[in-house]
Amino acid sequence: MRRSRGFSLVETLVALAILAIVITTTIAMFAERTRRLRDASETVLAFQALSNEAEYWRREPFAQIDKADNQTFKSDLDILKPLTPYTTEVKVDSPRTDVRNVTLTIRWAKREAHLGVARADTGGSGLW
Amino acid sequence: MVTRRRTRGYTMLEIVVTLAIFGVFLFIIVTLTAEMRRNEKKWPVNFFAHPEVGSVLARMRRDIYDSTARPDNFETYNSSPMTLIVYTINDDGTAETVVWDFTTPGEVHRKAFKATMLSSEWAAHGLPMFTATTESMPSGQEAVRIQATDKEHKLAIDELIVPRPHA
């Protein structure tokens, strides 16, 4: 005998629930992809700033490197605008009297990026 | 006992309840998606994934690293944020003057000259707006600061390139 009635409310709700799960999963995947792309963009911006800052620290006179009042970022950080609010930190270690390890850090949201520059006292005011 | 089949369609209440549930779901999804898109607009385009931009930067880095001078002008070109002029050393030890021309929006032109003769020309298209300025380093050296902004004028590339010291 042919069934001629329509769908019951339960059948319709189950169908919509399945559709909702499919849509939610798709959106969640899309959101995850967007989040990863944003993370990559943030990293690219942070490392551009770190790389520029490293260029300054590679050229800082050796005697000035570990002075407490000198340990701030020196380059223009316009590129970091999308990461606002962010903080920067310069940490200088002296494993030997003629070596300084400079660690540059940028922190934003719950992430951080570091770049280290090793400087050796060559006696001159040169690059290395 | 004979059970009578139900032949009617949905009641108004059934349709309203179903649509209300789905409506709430759609509202949540649309709100979340709109929020996500708003957040995304904050970010500049990641040009490092664009091969054209990569090739411009790679060529420019090489020219600047190996440059020995930055003339103020050359032939009809004058040095400005839209025109970078460098006197650079080639792999074969010869030197040439290279003009990077950013004046055409979306394009970058590289022209190399041996003396005053054009020796090579290269162009890239579909690019952000580039500028080249000078920045003084603590060592007294002058760095070239390459910046590029996307169509919404958001700074996407900011790179300091310092020429190698030449004896």
pLDDT digits over B93-129, tens only?
889 999 999 999 999 999 999 999 999 999 999 899 9
Least confident of A106-115, B23-32, B67-76: B23-32
Give the C-alpha distances (Å, rounded to integers) separating A16 from B12, B21, B26, B33.
Answer: 18, 9, 11, 20
CB contact under 8 A, A5 and B8: yes
Nearest partner of A54 among A8, A9, A95, A113, judged by Cα: A113
Tell me the two tokens of residue A86. Answer: 């962010």
Point out the residue among A16, A27, A127 whose CB comes nearest to the CB of B21: A16
What b/e sequence results for A17-52 when a residue is b if at least 16 CB atoms lie within 10 Å of its CB, and e otherwise?
A: eeeeeeeeeeeeeeeeeeeeebeebbebbbbbbbeb
* pTM greater than 0.90: no
Residue A128 has pLDDT above 50, yes or no: no
- Sort out which chain B residues have CB atoms less than 8 A from A55's CB and list them: 137, 143, 160, 162
- Cβ(A115)–Cβ(A104) below 8 Å: yes
- Cβ(B65)–Cβ(B163) below 8 Å: yes
- Cβ(B164)–Cβ(B65) below 8 Å: yes
First to last CA, chain B: 109
| DSSP SS3 for B33 | helix
- At B7 the pLDDT is 58
Residue A7 has pLDDT above 50, yes or no: yes
Per-residue pLDDT of A31-82, as tens digits, reads: 888 888 889 889 999 999 999 999 999 988 888 898 888 899 999 999 999 9
CB contact under 8 A, A9 and B17: yes
A63 in contact with B, Cβ within 8 Å: no
Helix intervals (H) in chain B: 12-40, 51-65
Substitution target from A59, A106, A115 for chain B, most B beta carbons within 10 A: A59
Q: Which residues pair with A115 in a beta bridge?
A: A104
A43 in contact with B, Cβ within 8 Å: no
Q: Which residues pair with B69 in a beta bridge?
A: B87
Q: What percent helix, strand, coil does chain A show, rounded to 5?
A: 50, 25, 25
Per-domain residue ranges of chain B: 48-161
Give percent above pLDDT 90 in chain B.
52
- Cβ(A45)–Cβ(A83) below 8 Å: yes
- Cβ(B100)–Cβ(B132) below 8 Å: yes
Q: Where does the pLDDT of residue A3 fall: very low under 50, low under 70, confident under 90, or very high at 90 and above? A: low
- Cβ(B75)–Cβ(B116) below 8 Å: yes
Per-residue pLDDT of B70-93, as tens digits, reads: 999 999 999 999 999 999 998 888
Count chain A–chain B contacts defined by CB atoms under 8 A: 86
Total residue count of chain A as it appears in this document: 128
